Structures are given as C-alpha cells and as structure tokens.
Structure 1
Amino acid sequence: MTSILILYGSETGTAQDLAESMGRECYLRHITARVYDMDEYELGCITTEKVILFIVSTTGQGEMPPNMRRMWRILLRKSLKPDVLKGVHVAVLGLGDSSYQKYNFAAKKLYRRLFQLGAVTLTIPGLANDQHELGIDGAFIPWKKEVWKEVKKLDIFPEMTLDPDPAIKIRTRYRFFYGEGAERYQDDGYVPLKVISNRRVTSEGHFQDTRLIDFEMPSYPSYKPGDVLMVRPYNPTETLQIALDALGYSDELLDRPTRILNNDPYVKPPPCFLVGTLRKCLERLWDLQQIPKRSFFEMLAYYSRDRAEKERLKELASPEGLDDLLDYANRSRRTTAETLRDFPASAKNLPPDALFEILTFIRPRAFSIASAPSPSHVELLVAKVEYKSRMSDARRGLCSTFLSRLKEGDEVYCKIRPGTFRFPDPEVPVICIGPGTGVAPFRSLFGHGSSKGLLFFGCRGEHSDFYFSDEWKDIEGVEVIPAFSRDTEKKIYVQHKMRERAADIKRLLEAGASVFIAGSAGEMPKAVSEVLTEIQGEEWMKKAEETGGIQFETWS
C-alpha cells in the first residue's frame, strides 16, 4: 500500500505534535500515513518512499535534535551517491525562534542535504518562527496547504481529497482492551534503577533546590564522560488528582486491569511498565503537567458534546485565537490537568480511548551524567524547577519535581545514551565552561582522572551553590576558575573570568585544546563565544564549530 512517510526530529515535543497532526490530516484525506521519529525509521528503505514530510526543530546552538542525529550522520556519508533519493518527493518544515542566532539551522541543513542527494522538493522549506504574530502557525498553515496541493498533483493516492472529508471519523491510534490476549509492548531499553541517595547540594537558605541523586546500576553497561541518562518521570500526585477529578472516571474503571492495542499498525506500543490500569496510564503515560498545545484544544473540541465549551475550545485551537491561547495557557503556565478541570462538561464525557488523541505521552528527559564512569552507580545533578505565575499554585517542572521527591529505595526507569559532547583523547587539553548544573558532564570528565585543562564554573555564591567545591582541589589535572555573580557588588560571570585568563586560553587553544560549553541556552553561550572570538578571531571560531573544536550542550 502506498503511504506518506512523516518523520520528525523533536526535542520538546512540538515537532512530534505537528507530525502526528499531519498524520491525522492524511487519514481525513483518505491517505495512509506512517509517523516516526527520524532515528526509529530504517533508513535503508528510504529509496522506496514516494513522499516524505520532515518536521524538524533546532536545538541548542543550531544542532539537530537528539532523535534525528543517527539518521543525520548517515545522510552525511560521502559514500552516498548524488542521485540516491531520485524520485523521492520531500517537504521540510523547520521549527525555530528568530531571536536565536542559528534560526532553523537544522531544517535548512537537512533541506540542502536532501536536495544534494537528488530528492524532488515539493515546496520550499517552511520556516516556522515562535516570534511570528501567529506563532508556528504563521508558517505551518501555508506550508501544509502547499504540501497537500503538490501531493494531490502527483496522483499517487487515487482516493485522496484536497480537503479533509467531513464524513470520516477520527480513529484513535490505540485502544484499551480489558480481555485476555497476547501482550505487545515495545522493549525500549529502559531498566529500573534504585535510588541510593538524594541529597540537596545548595545551602538551605538558597532559593534553588538542587539535588545530587545517586542510582545503583547492577548489571548495567558502564558509561563514559559526556553520556546522558534518560529518565522516565511520572506526574506529581497533586496533578494526577486534578485530572482524576476532572475526568470523573469510577474507581472500578480506573483500576480494572487493561492493556493497550494498536488501531494504527504504524505506531509503536508504549513500554509495558507504563501500562496496567487506566489510573497507571494517567500517572505514568500521559503528560498532565505540560502546557497544552493547540492540538489538545482541537481534539478536545472534536470529542466535546457541550456546545458552549466546544465553541470556546475551537476558538483556542484556531490560528486567529493564538493570542487568546497564549494568554490562557502559555502566559499563565496552565497545565493540561488544570485545563481539563476548566472544561468540566467536555472532560466528564470523554471515553478513555479518546485520551490517546487528546493527551501526549510523557517524554523521557535527558540529564548529563555527573559522576565519573562506574560499573555500580550513576549520579545526576538536577535543579528543581519551581516558580510562580498567575495561577494560585506554584508551577513545577515535571521531571525535576519527580526526581527531587525520590526517596532511598525508589525505582526509576532509565537508560544511558550518548550525549552531545565528544571529548578528545586524554592527551588533548580541554577548556570547559559550565555554569550551574552545566558543570555535570565536566565532573564526569575530570573525575575520570585522565583529562587536563581549565574549568570555568559560574554560580551565585561561594557558599550557596558552588557545586562540588569540596572535591575540585583533590582532582588532578583541572584548574577550576569560579565566577560568583552575587558575592560582589558588580556581577561576575564566566565570560568575565575568561577574559582575565585570555592568555592561558590562547596558549591552550594554540596547543590544540578543545572547548566545551554546557548550560542554559540564553545569553551565556553567546557571551562565551564572543570572548573566544576576541581571543582567536572569527575564522578560528568558524573552523572550530565545523570541526568539533568547540562543542555546545545547551538547553532552554
């Protein structure tokens, strides 16, 4: 059967959300669609595809999202012939923010490479911009209209309609099944790790609660500096209760043993440890803590039987209602659970299967490993995200809250995967810049005992959040240069300390040192890059970024 392939590269889930939305639109146009994250797809089959839609976000400093890096490395192989994608029709949508210097770099690079490999482009790349007055819809809507028009022209799908067929009812990708039968759950490599300890590493009076969490790793492959631990968090108890109250399901239904079956043969089943009962799914499978996306309102409106709520939901889901949506959901940081509570007539009448189309699965979170490689344990350095908004209750990050509340003996499903950093051989010196929890991969690197170099660390105060201050003096090969931003009248940041040590930095760079920058994707990476440009010049910076002489691991 001929079908459209939709591939996404996503960090925060937005690209995945749009890809799944395009999959639904295919179904409503009588087209079969397959939706995968890019690294799940078997690239050896790509030459047999007729139409591929790529939806790609840009992460950090112009990097590819983690779930498309394997495919990207393969696409870059010089052994690929320039006509390998001849006859494959492609369209690319990029998701970015023009306030960042490397706006939509991932999509632009992907489009150029597909063109170099002979792919036939259906339309110019859509470059969605968070800064547009309509948000990403400012590019997404015209891009998909053009895509449908061009796909229709190909005459590959004889039953395709240009517009959605109103007679078609949306089919949920999964359904609950309460009878006997064979299980079909994916084995995605996650294993339960037991908590050894969870201790606060900031002073009690400091506003930020940062945790060093130690996990036991029996019979699990070891790791190397730069690797990350993927963590599967659960919803907080209080958020789960809000959703349970809003949905109004009986305890009998919530606690009835169940399993999940696929309605769509192309979707992968969820891991078995997230399933068992509807209550367990609401706790572990669906993200009730996230700010609801436009598709949430669109699908809740589809299933709603209440006229007034249905109209309000449609308004919030429309491009014209973007500012209203931003005010209702994003600016107030309202959670999905709270939104269900705000639409009681709609929420109380939802069949459980509809939740598969309305709610999104909890994404595993990646944390740089903070411990030196060990066969028996692994440590994470995690800053708890908690802040106030217009809402009466404090806003909390899903995963950081989950991790901060762990007790000794608790089990968490995790797996190890390579991170962004590719550290050089031990004889090559390194210059590391890691303010705050960005220091985690460098503790792993220098704690390994073989690398040597400079570490610029930034925090607020020497006695409040100077992580691992009692350890650095005992680790050979690293000189730690701290920058304390609140201990003096004038704020001192890592870039100021780098300027003070410009001569040492230049000496190391000319000796072949590599530079690694980890931390928030705000002003810090830009300020650090400016100092390095002052020291070595723009040509050096450009070449270093191309060759891996300077590497970033940043997050929003």
Structure 2
Amino acid sequence: MAGTAMSVQRRTALIVYGSETGNAQDVAEEVGRMAERLRFETIVLDMDSVQLKDLLKYTVVIFALSTTGQGEMPQNARIFWKTLLSGALKVGILRKLKFCSFGLGDSSYARFNVAHRMLCNRLQQLGARLFCERGEGNEQHPEGHSAGFREWIVQLRQKLLDAFPLDADLQPLADDVFIEPKWKLAISDAVTASIGQTSNGPRTEPARNEGVAESEDEEATPSGALIPMNGIHTAHIVANDRVTHPRHFQDVRLLDLVLDEAYTYGPGAVAVVYPKNFPKDVDDFIQLMGWQDAADQPLQLISNNDPSSVAVSAPSPLRHLDLAQIDLSLRWLLENVLDIMSIPRRSFFASLAHFAGESTEDEAYQKERLLELANPDLIDELWDYTTRPKRTILEVMMDFTTIKVPWQYALSAFPAMKGRQFSITSGGRLRCAEDGRTKVELLVAIADPPSPIIKWRRRYGVCTRYIASLRAGQSINVGLQQGYLDVQPSELEVPAIMIGPGTGLAPMRSMVWQRLLWAQESNAKEAGRPLAGDILIFGCRAASADYFFRDEWNHMQAAEGLHVLAAFSRDPEEPKRYVQDRMREESRLLQDAILERQGKIYISGSSGNMPKGVREALLDVLSAPEALKTKEGAEQYLDAMERAGRYKQETW
C-alpha cells in the first residue's frame, strides 16, 4: 500500500458482494477503494467464495447485495445464504462480527430490497453487530442506485473512522495518492527480447469459424476463438435470424443455439452471453494509449499481495479464465476482457485522474475535468457527459488525449467485461434439437439507439452488437442459470396468466411450450385443449412489424386452447392499445382465472412503467363491482398472491 508505514494495530476489511448483473460488484469495489484509503487491508470477494468462519478473521465485513427476482439472492450468493440459514448455527456464533451493508433493488418489485434486509436480519440473529446503518439504492431513482449509494458511502466512511480509528500518527490516504493495485501485468518471464526491439510480437491468429465463409466484413468482427472460461457451456449457432420486419426500426433476433452437453432448464431460465470487442475499436484504443509496442507481447500476471497479511489474498482478476490455454496479451485482453465500450462510472474518472499530469495547460485542464466528473457532488456533470449521450470509455479517451495509462495497470484502470443475461425463449419440446442435443433459443433486441449528441459515432449495446455479428456455424461461450420463476408441473391445475410485452415474451413462450408438454405427458387436460384456461397477454407496436411468433400463437389458440390477447400501440389498422388496456377490456376473463380458479400471474419485460402499469390494471380488474369491489381489497389480494407465489415478476 502506498504512503507511510502501516499502523501497528492491523485493521482488515472484507467486502463481499452478491451480484446478478455486476452492479453490486461495482459498489463493493468502490467501497474497497475507500477502505484502502482509510488504511484497511482490503479484500473484495463474491459471497459464495467466503466461508462463514472467514467473516471472523476481519476487523470489519461490508456486504453489497442485489435483490433479484421476487426477493431472491443472486446466483453467486446462494451457497453462502444457504449456509447462513443452517439450523445448526447457534445464536451468538457471529457475536464478534462487526458489519454493515448496502442493498440494491428495484421498487417496481413489491419485495423491494428484501434479500438485503433478510441478510441483515439473519446476521444480527446470529449475534453480528451493525456499526453503520444499512443503506439501500433504488434502480427506479432518476440516478439509479447511485443516488442512495452516494449518500451512504459518506456515512460509512465516517463510521469506519469513528469505530476503527487510525493511530495518532497516521492519516487517511488523500484522494490524489496512487495506491498500487494488488495485481499488475508484466512481460512474460519467457520473453527475453525487450519491447523496444520488437514492435510486432507473436500475435496468435484467431481461429476461423467452421462453416463461415471468409469475406471482407469478417475482418471487422471479433475472433471466433472460444475463451477458456470456468463453468460455462459451448453453444453452436444454428441460426441468427431477424424476426422483425425489415423496415421496422428495431432489429430483434432469434438466436438458435445447441449445446454439446445435456442441460435441463425450465421456464424463466437465462443464458449469459459473454461479448467481445471489435478489432477496430481495439486498434483505436491501442493507438490512443500508445500501447503499440506492447500490444502483442506475451504477458503474465504478477501479484502485489502482502504474504504476511492475516486476510485472504486478493483473488486474481482473471481467475475465471484458464490462463494455461491463453496466449495472454494486451490485444487479447482488450478484445475479450476489458469493457472499453461501456459507459464509464464515476469511479473510473477518479482512477484515471491518477495518471493525469499537470506540466502543460492541456494536462492541467484535463485533470481538472476528470476530478469534476469524479466528484460525487457534481453528479449532473457526469450524467450530461456519459449517461445522456451514452459516451463510451473509448470516446472518453479520445477526449482526454493527454492521459496515457501504463499498460501494466490495464486490469485495474479499466472495467472488466461482464456477461449479459437473456431470458431463454425455448421450452418443452423446443428444448431438444433434431440430433438430440439440448437447444436454447434467445430473443434479443439489438441495441442501436441514435444519439442526438454524438452524431459521428453510432451507439451500440456492447453485447447485442456482438450478437448481431454472429453467424450460423460459429460457436460461443454461454453461462446457463435456472432463473427465478420456479414453474412446476403441479401448476397445471390452475390457469397461468402470462404477461410479456416486447421481448418480455421470451420466458412466457418458454412457459407455454413447457406447460403444453407437461399437459400432453400427464393427460391432465381434456383432449385437444391442453392449454385451456391459460392466458397470454402480449404487446408490440404493430401486427406486421414485431408480433413475435404470431403463427405459433394462432396455432396454440386453434389447436391447444390457449387464450391470446394482443395489444398494438402503433398499428394503423388497430386501435392504440397497451397490455394494460387489453387486461381492462377482458376483466371478466381475468377475474375468473384469478379469483374463481386461483390462477397464477407471471410478468416479464422492461422494468419501470410496464410492471407498475400492469399492477394498476390488475387492481382495476380485481376491484370491479363484480369482483373485490374496492382498491384496498384488491391490494391486499395481490399482496397475498405474491406471498403465496401466485404473482411473479421478472423484469430488466
């Protein structure tokens, strides 16, 4: 750690996160940087990498936890949570633990931040003591969870200093003091020639994809070589077809994949796609950083961990990769690991400021500007510069031309690429390919929004741009997760009300096909009407533009008894309606399914206004004179449905 000598009284901090999409991990890493400046020996880990006994080895433990699904723990926190719930744990077993926590949630879910609150309560049941009030962030806030986090971390910093004071002769490290990262890059020991003697190192040629014809365009797309990652599956692309009308403004793809190995999944399961950056962007970034001589040199990771520390050693930032199978280089990292096309967070600018000089007027100005963007009190400055125009890290470096980050610090200065989750849209018999292998279909909206601010460079979604470039015959890495809908065959006894506008249709289609298979296998429904009683409510812009799987739904209505309610918001031949309007129009149908037949409600799609509007429509339907009569009664009924698992929501 940079600065003066360490305190005689060792102070250690373990920051652990449970994160589904990476937001809680980002919070944990920022807390870790703050704790380091307070001279704590700091380790940041996911919750499932921590043993319960490890919590007692640290001066303080700080949790960052997202709530997912209907109040569930994230995938990388479930083992830890199961251990924490063990009945064999005695009251008081964690009495020596001092902790605090920050929760990330979405108030469009009724069980807002409930996983975080359950964690806090359970830790205190076992004797752990809070040294700082817990904090919470809300994704529905105009600034997202950052608004709550910005207030809480100020309080946390002061509480850490009050509860765990520094020795009298020590002060916290100033924000402008650079702290050496625990891991850095270095030229591989096997390389004897200096970088200066070799401008073009031994670059490994990317593997070509079987069955994909070479063309001029192929050079502009990422390598098809698979990344050797731990715990993932190899998926082969059968098709990547556009399912919206060619003249429709949005490109939505049906990505058809088959897996090498068998994998059983149910409705609500998700596939995690790991994107790559495009070679042109990588080359531009290398030029901006002045890394040309080092770009293709073989590299290795070296550790700066303190071997005498009582804490667990900081994990490698590349621990999810099998490095023995990788020819590690800066170019490889920029294409496969570093998220240079993401919108930077405030902490990125704080980190970048350490590499800024002040010897010239331009350098001084750019450093001052970086510090403005890193200032939590000037959040509007950050919003206007990054979020509103969707400015990427690559574009930021085009603005801050005096900043040259030494390549040795690339893994700490730039964020890591995270996998993106997509709901699986196949289910039932659609899970099996013709050759018997497991099939996975994804419905993906390609993010390519126009920017009114930066007109000379197109906006892209990092992952969906990569998906749009994929072709039949290629192979990619995917992670698979079971999701949170937890649909069971026993549910055939009651109707399913499935509400999924836009690409929110994906898990609903999976459920329809799965319920159809269960009904056919068990003969649970009358012959010829295995989906009788089930209701699918779908919304899109126009029947001719983005009515996904229209022929399937026509068949399901005619042959299987599924009731389909479609709403079109921009169709010249139909009245303007949203799913909420269709629900109110068919209130008697829904009242019968929900109240009389004890049906279950499933909602999926964009978070924010859609789930709130759907809930309001349900309240109107259930509070009608012929139903529960009052809004209060309808509210209580929906709350009871949620507690009983009859009301489930999966939004993003």
Structures share a fold, TM > 0.5? yes
Evaluate the alpha carbon distance shift between residue 97 and residue 378 of structure 1 in structure 2; reply closer, same or farther with a 3 A threshold.
closer
Evaluate the alpha carbon distance shift between residue 95 and residue 223 of structure 1 in structure 2; reply closer, same or farther with a 3 A threshold.
closer
Find out whether 1:433 has 2:499 as its counterpart. Answer: yes
Residues in 2 aligned to 1:255 and 1:297: alpha-carbon distance in whole angstroms: 27
1:548 CA drift (Å): 1.7
Which residue is equivalent to 1:328? 385
Find out whether 1:405 has 2:405 as its counterpart. Answer: no
Question: Does the aligned pair in 1 maintain the 2:70–2:484 contact within 8 Å?
Answer: no
Q: What is the SS of the residue equivalent to 2:518?
A: coil
Q: What is the SS of the residue equivalent to 1:253?
A: coil
Query: Letter of the aligned partner of 2:425 in structure 1?
Result: A
Q: What is the SS of the residue equivalent to 2:101?
A: strand
Residues in 2 aligned to 1:77 and 1:318: alpha-carbon distance in whole angstroms: 43
1:322 CA drift (Å): 2.2
1:162 CA drift (Å): 5.6
Over residues 196-222 of structure 1, what are the superposed CA-to-partner deviations in whole Å (9 max), with x where a residue is unaligned? 110000011111100001112112423
Find out whether 1:294 has 2:294 as its counterpart. Answer: no
Select which of 304, 308, 315 maps to 1:267: 315
Residues in 1 aligned to 2:283 and 2:121: alpha-carbon distance in whole angstroms: 48
Select which of 243, 261, 271 maps to 1:201: 243
1:424 CA drift (Å): 2.6
Which residue is equivalent to 1:255? 296
Over residues 172-197 of structure 1, what are the superposed CA-to-partner deviations in whole Å (9 max), with x where a residue is unaligned? 2322243258xxx9953123322111
Find out whether 1:492 has 2:577 as its counterpart. Answer: yes
Question: Does the aligned pair in 1 maintain the 2:183–2:316 contact within 8 Å?
Answer: no
Q: How does 1:368-383 map to 2 (within 5 A)?
A: 368-372=423-427, 373-374=431-432, 375-383=437-445
Evaluate the alpha carbon distance shift between residue 109 and residue 180 of structure 1 in structure 2; reply closer, same or farther with a 3 A threshold.
same
Query: Letter of the aligned partner of 1:332 in structure 2?
Result: P
Question: Does the aligned pair in 1 maintain the 2:39–2:172 contact within 8 Å?
Answer: no
Residues in 2 aligned to 1:159 and 1:411: alpha-carbon distance in whole angstroms: 59
Is 334-343 or 17-26 further displaced after alignment?
A: 17-26
Evaluate the alpha carbon distance shift between residue 419 and residue 126 of structure 1 in structure 2; reply closer, same or farther with a 3 A threshold.
same
Residues in 1 aligned to 2:645 and 2:396: alpha-carbon distance in whole angstroms: 44
Residues in 2 aligned to 1:298 and 1:208: alpha-carbon distance in whole angstroms: 36
Select which of 15, 23, 34 maps to 2:32: 23
Evaluate the alpha carbon distance shift between residue 433 and residue 332 of structure 1 in structure 2; reply closer, same or farther with a 3 A threshold.
same
TM-score relative to the length of structure 1: 0.89
Which residue is equivalent to 2:545? 464
Q: What is the SS of the residue equivalent to 1:192?
A: strand
Evaluate the alpha carbon distance shift between residue 493 and residue 40 of structure 1 in structure 2; reply closer, same or farther with a 3 A threshold.
farther
Residues in 2 aligned to 1:423 and 1:259: alpha-carbon distance in whole angstroms: 46
Over residues 341-385 of structure 1, what are the superposed CA-to-partner deviations in whole Å (9 max), with x where a residue is unaligned? 111111xx3211222222111111111111122333211110011
Question: Does the aligned pair in 2 maintain the 1:230–1:367 contact within 8 Å?
Answer: yes
Which residue is equivalent to 1:454? 535
Query: Letter of the aligned partner of 2:92 in structure 1?
Result: D
Over residues 57-106 of structure 1, what are the superposed CA-to-partner deviations in whole Å (9 max), with x where a residue is unaligned? 45577665454355445545666544343221111123467798766555
Query: Letter of the aligned partner of 2:540 in structure 1?
Result: C
Question: Does the aligned pair in 2 maintain the 1:122–1:150 contact within 8 Å?
Answer: no
Query: Letter of the aligned partner of 1:135 in structure 2?
Result: A
Query: Letter of the aligned partner of 1:386 in structure 2?
Result: D
Unaligned runs of 5+ in 1: none
Evaluate the alpha carbon distance shift between residue 425 and residue 327 of structure 1 in structure 2; reply closer, same or farther with a 3 A threshold.
same
Is 454-463 or 11-20 further displaced after alignment?
A: 11-20
Question: Does the aligned pair in 2 maintain the 1:242–1:338 contact within 8 Å?
Answer: no
Residues in 2 aligned to 1:268 and 1:468: alpha-carbon distance in whole angstroms: 44
Residues in 2 aligned to 1:203 and 1:336: alpha-carbon distance in whole angstroms: 33
Residues in 2 aligned to 1:486 and 1:74: alpha-carbon distance in whole angstroms: 51
Q: What is the SS of the residue equivalent to 2:120?
A: helix
Select which of 527, 531, 544 maps to 2:617: 531
Residues in 2 aligned to 1:457 and 1:424: alpha-carbon distance in whole angstroms: 23
Select which of 582, 586, 597 maps to 1:511: 597
Query: Letter of the aligned partner of 1:313 in structure 2?
Result: L
Evaluate the alpha carbon distance shift between residue 14 and residue 377 of structure 1 in structure 2; reply closer, same or farther with a 3 A threshold.
closer
Is 398-407 or 230-239 further displaced after alignment?
A: 230-239
Find out whether 1:443 has 2:509 as its counterpart. Answer: yes
Evaluate the alpha carbon distance shift between residue 96 and residue 512 of structure 1 in structure 2; reply closer, same or farther with a 3 A threshold.
closer
Find out whether 1:230 has 2:230 as its counterpart. Answer: no
1:282 CA drift (Å): 0.6
Residues in 2 aligned to 1:77 and 1:456: alpha-carbon distance in whole angstroms: 41
Residues in 2 aligned to 1:480 and 1:211: alpha-carbon distance in whole angstroms: 22
1:388 CA drift (Å): 1.7
Residues in 1 aligned to 2:176 and 2:651: alpha-carbon distance in whole angstroms: 46
Is 57-66 or 210-219 further displaced after alignment?
A: 57-66
Residues in 2 aligned to 1:259 and 1:478: alpha-carbon distance in whole angstroms: 58
Which residue is equivalent to 1:394? 458
Q: What is the SS of the residue equivalent to 1:344?
A: coil
Residues in 2 aligned to 1:546 and 1:159: alpha-carbon distance in whole angstroms: 53
Evaluate the alpha carbon distance shift between residue 482 and residue 40 of structure 1 in structure 2; reply closer, same or farther with a 3 A threshold.
farther
Q: What is the count of residue pairs matched by the alignment?
A: 546
Residues in 2 aligned to 1:274 and 1:235: alpha-carbon distance in whole angstroms: 17
1:490 CA drift (Å): 4.3
Which residue is equivalent to 1:364? 419
Residues in 2 aligned to 1:59 and 1:207: alpha-carbon distance in whole angstroms: 31
Unaligned runs of 5+ in 2: 1-9, 191-226, 306-312, 358-362, 520-530, 623-627, 629-633
1:276 CA drift (Å): 2.1
Q: What is the SS of the residue equivalent to 1:467?
A: coil
Q: How does 1:22-171 map to 2 (within 5 A)?
A: 22-43=31-52, 45-46=54-55, 50-58=59-67, 64-72=73-81, 74-75=83-84, 80-95=89-104, 104-128=113-137, 130-131=141-142, 135-136=147-148, 138-153=150-165, 161=170, 163-164=172-173, 169-171=178-180
Residues in 1 aligned to 2:19 and 2:327: alpha-carbon distance in whole angstroms: 24
Residues in 2 aligned to 1:334 and 1:166: alpha-carbon distance in whole angstroms: 25
Residues in 2 aligned to 1:455 and 1:22: alpha-carbon distance in whole angstroms: 44
TM-score relative to the length of structure 2: 0.76
Evaluate the alpha carbon distance shift between residue 328 and residue 149 of structure 1 in structure 2; reply closer, same or farther with a 3 A threshold.
same
Select which of 460, 479, 482 maps to 2:563: 479
Asked which structure has the greater CA Rg, the reply is 2
Question: Does the aligned pair in 1 maintain the 2:186–2:408 contact within 8 Å?
Answer: no
Q: What is the SS of the residue equivalent to 1:370?
A: coil
